C-alpha cells in the first residue's frame, strides 16, 4: 500500500561508525569507553591490547565477547571484520606511525591520537600511506566539533571583536606518575611542547583560520624534580 502524500517518510536509521580501539590506557578506560556507550554516531566493536584481562573486562562492559579482543600481534586479523570501519589509535606517540601504516595496509580508516607523529617526516609518511591505501586519516583534535570553540571562531571571523591582535592560549597537564610514557623521550618524542603545546597551536589555527608564519618556543625544566630529571636524562 503506497504512503499517503501527507504522511512523513520514516527517518533513516543512523549509521554508527564501528571502531577498534588500539591501546587501553587511561584515556581509553576513563573517557573513551564511557563516552562511546552514549554516542549516537559511533560504537566500539573490538579492542587491541597487550593486557588481555583488561581487554576482556572492557569488552564485557560494552557488550562484546572474547573474540572481540585482539593482541598487537593479531592486529591484522581485523582485516576480515566488516563491522570495523575504523581503527582508533590510542598509543604512545612513538607507536602512532607503525599502527597508522598497519591500519592502512588492511584497508581501515584511521583516527589517531595527537600529535599525529613524532616528527614531520613521520606525519608525511602516515598521510601518504593512507592516501595510497584509499583510507581516511584523522587526528583526534576536538575543538573543531565543540560549540564553544565555534562561537569563538565566529566572533573572530564576524568582526565582532574588531581586529584581533593577540590571542593567549594556555593548556596545563599534570603528570604525577614518574613511570608514565610521557616522561620518556623515546616514547613521547618532544616533551610538553610537542605533546601539550600542540593543543594551543591547533586551537589558535582553528579560531583564526590562519596558519602560523613563524614560531618561537621555550622550555624550562626545574632542577630537583626526579620525574623531570628522568625524562631529561633519557
**Catalytic residue annotation:** 114, 199
Q: Which of 172, 171, 170, 185 is nearest to 230 (CA)?
A: 185
> 209 CB contacts (<8 Å, ≥6 apart)?
153, 156, 157
Note the maximum CA span of the chain: 80
Residue pair 5/30 in contact (Cβ under 8 Å)? The answer is no
Q: Is 55 exposed, middle or buried (0-12, 13-18, 19+ CB in 10 A)?
A: buried
- If one counts every other C-beta atom within 10 angstroms of the C-beta of residue 192, the result is 18
Beta bridge partners of 89: 22, 112
Rounded CA Rg of the chain: 21
Cα distance between residue 73 and residue 60, in whole Å: 22
Amino acid at each position: 500500500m503506497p504512503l499517503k502524500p501527507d504522511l512523513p517518510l520514516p527517518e533513516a536509521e543512523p549509521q554508527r561508525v564501528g571502531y577498534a580501539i588500539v591501546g587501553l590506557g587511561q584515556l581509553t578506560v576513563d573517557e573513551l569507553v564511557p563516552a562511546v556507550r552514549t554516542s549516537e554516531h559511533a560504537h566500539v566493536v573490538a579492542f587491541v591490547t597487550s593486557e588481555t584481562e583488561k581487554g576482556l573486562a572492557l569488552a564485557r562492559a560494552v557488550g562484546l565477547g572474547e573474540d572481540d579482543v585482539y593482541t598487537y600481534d593479531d592486529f591484522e586479523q581485523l582485516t576480515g571484520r566488516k563491522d570495523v570501519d575504523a581503527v582508533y589509535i590510542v598509543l604512545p606517540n612513538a607507536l602512532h606511525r607503525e599502527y597508522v601504516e598497519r591500519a592502512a595496509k588492511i584497508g581501515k580508516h584511521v583516527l589517531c591520537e595527537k600529535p599525529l607523529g613524532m616528527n614531520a617526516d613521520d606525519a608525511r609518511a602516515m598521510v601518504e600511506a593512507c592516501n595510497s591505501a584509499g583510507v581516511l586519516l584523522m587526528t583526534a583534535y576536538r575543538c573543531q566539533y565543540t560549540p564553544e570553540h565555534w562561537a569563538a571562531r565566529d566572533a573572530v571571523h564576524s568582526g565582532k571583536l574588531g581586529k584581533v591582535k593577540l590571542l593567549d592560549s594556555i593548556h596545563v597537564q599534570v603528570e604525577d606518575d614518574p613511570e608514565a610514557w610521557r616522561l620518556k623521550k623515546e616514547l613521547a618524542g618532544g616533551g610538553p611542547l610537542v605533546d601539550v603545546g600542540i593543543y594551543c597551536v591547533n586551537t589558535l589555527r582553528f579560531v583564526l583560520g590562519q596558519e602560523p608564519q613563524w614560531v618561537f618556543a621555550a622550555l624550562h625544566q626545574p632542577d630537583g624534580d626526579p620525574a623531570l630529571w628522568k625524562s631529561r636524562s633519557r
